[in-house]
């Protein structure tokens, strides 16, 4: 079925974006009008800085122009002001709104934080940029696995101390080892692909248990402890939802075999950080590579900062110089689907918010 808005679809660019990428969106179809005023958008401080410079302030006149522009559109590229409050406001003010494309893969949290009720959330769709970040996150996960297996933390300490150990310590072989990936979505499957290229055997979890090509075993979260018994490394890619809150607790860490390497590129709330620290100290976990934390920025008093076998990454592992282009390309494909009346991919689930 053709979308009834095809003859007059207006897209508003709500977040910073390069002019050439805006032109790509314009080129999707002659029926599309793109509203874009860089003067109303904060400058980027780094590639794919969707929030832009926090010191940027619109004049009252510019603020009025910004919201007038957004309220003319059926489709938004980005959340207004890249914030839950902006989403709540546009939902109240724009009766034309049909679809918002969010920059984040985990945009469900922002949708939930907007406080919109179910009736409001049914009036328009929110899609995420899930999948755009799959490759950089998977590469970072591979870095974490390799760091753990090749003792990079110990090497760095010895180098800092100019220490040449008398006894040579072997590193662990990645090839032939077993990886468990919690969350076999796009990020998890890309991680599995890279891990298999390194010679690893991969199992993992999925809400809907079904065979997946190249994956040895698939289980749900209840079956996770059983998978962990034979795992040499674990990569979490799960989003933060009520179902994943502190999934990695003492019981789950104790199900791991001693020396397991743990990587988290999902959400920090999936891990009980006190239980992780215990697992690091008792040897269940030999090394932890963490890009996400329960509270961000990571509090200054967190023991994770100074732990000798923890890598702290400030939630930046998904970021690449290509991100804006990849998201714009994803949006262009989605826009074509929208104009043709198809089903949009990567919709935010307004019940579970992921």
Write out the two tokens for 308. 């000798």
Do the Cβ atoms of 248 and 270 come closer than 8 Å?
A: yes
What pLDDT is stored for residue 131 in this prediction?
85
Q: pLDDT digit string (tens) for 39-48? A: 999 999 999 9
Q: Report phi then psi at 219, rounded to 5.
A: -135, 170
Element of type H or E holding 262? strand 260-264
Among the listed residues 315, 325, 329, 352, the single catalytic one is: 315
Q: Which of 8, 207, 296, 336 is flagged as catalytic?
A: 296
Tokens linked to 116:
């919109």
For residue 352, what pLDDT is reported? 83
Spot the catalytic one: 151, 267, 307, 346: 267
Distance CA 303, CA 318 (A): 24
pLDDT tens per residue, range 113-135:
999 999 999 999 999 998 899 99
In the predicted structure, residue 82 carries a pLDDT above the cut 90: yes
Q: Which helix (H) or strand (E) holds 12?
A: strand 9-13
Q: How many CB atoms lie within 10 A of CB 210?
A: 8
3-class DSSP assignment, residue 171: coil
Mean pLDDT within 156-162? 97
**Predicted confidence (pLDDT) per residue in 221-279, tens digit:** 999 999 999 999 999 999 999 999 999 999 999 999 999 999 999 999 999 999 999 99
Tokens of 57: 């302030």
Task: Answer yes or no: is pLDDT of 6 > 50.
Answer: no
**Cis before 51 (ω within 30):** no
104, 199, 236, 255 from 266: Cα distances, Å: 12, 23, 6, 20
Active site residue 64: no
Residue 216: burial class (beta carbons within 10 Å; 0-12, 13-18, 19+): middle
pLDDT tens figures, 263-300: 999 999 999 999 999 999 999 999 999 999 999 999 99
- The question of whether 315 is a catalytic residue gets the answer yes
Residue 296, CB-side half-sphere exposure with 13 Å CA sphere: 13
CA distance 270 to 266: 8
Q: Read off the pLDDT of residues 41-81 as tens digits, 9 standing for 90 and up.
A: 999 999 999 999 999 999 999 999 999 999 999 999 999 99
Question: 171: Cβ–Cβ under 8 A, 6 or more apart, which residues?
Answer: 149, 150, 151
Based on the residue annotation, tell me whether 307 is a catalytic residue of this protein: no
Please tell me which residue, 3 or 21, carries the higher pLDDT value.
21
Q: Which residue has the tokens 């709104």?
A: 97
What is the C-alpha separation between 291 and 295, in angstroms, rounded? 12
């Amino acid at each position: 079925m053709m979308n009834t808005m095809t003859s007059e679809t207006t897209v508003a660019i709500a977040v910073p974006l390069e002019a050439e990428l805006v032109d790509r969106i314009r080129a999707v179809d002659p029926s599309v009008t793109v509203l874009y005023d860089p003067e109303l958008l904060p400058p980027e401080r780094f590639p794919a800085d969707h929030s832009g410079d926090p010191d940027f302030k619109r004049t009252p006149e510019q603020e009025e122009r910004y919201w007038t522009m957004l309220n003319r559109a059926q489709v938004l590229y980005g959340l207004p002001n890249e914030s839950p409050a902006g989403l709540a406001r546009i939902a109240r003010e724009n009766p034309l709104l049909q679809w918002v494309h969010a920059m984040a893969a985990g945009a469900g949290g922002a949708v939930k934080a907007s406080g919109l009720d179910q009736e409001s959330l049914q009036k328009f769709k929110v899609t995420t940029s899930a999948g755009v970040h799959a490759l950089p996150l998977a590469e970072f996960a591979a870095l974490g696995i390799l760091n753990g297996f090749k003792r990079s933390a110990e090497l760095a300490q010895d180098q800092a101390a100019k220490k040449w150990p008398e006894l040579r310590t072997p590193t662990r072989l990645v090839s032939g080892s077993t990886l468990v990936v919690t969350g076999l979505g796009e990020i998890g499957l890309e991680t599995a692909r890279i891990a298999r290229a390194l010679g690893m055997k991969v199992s993992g979890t999925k809400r809907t248990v079904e065979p997946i090509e190249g994956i040895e075993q698939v289980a749900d979260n209840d079956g996770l402890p059983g998978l962990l018994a034979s795992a040499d490394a674990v990569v979490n890619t799960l989003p933060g939802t009520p179902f994943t809150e502190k999934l990695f607790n003492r019981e789950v860490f104790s199900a791991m075999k001693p020396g397991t390497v743990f990587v988290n590129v999902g959400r920090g709330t999936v891990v009980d950080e006190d239980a992780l620290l215990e697992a690091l100290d008792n040897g269940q976990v030999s090394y932890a590579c963490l890009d996400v934390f329960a509270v961000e920025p990571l509090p200054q008093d967190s023991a994770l900062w100074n732990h000798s076998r923890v890598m702290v990454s400030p939630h930046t592992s998904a970021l690449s110089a290509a991100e804006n282009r990849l998201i714009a390309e994803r949006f262009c494909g989605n826009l074509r689907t929208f104009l043709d009346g198809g089903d949009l991919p990567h919709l935010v689930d307004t019940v579970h918010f992921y």
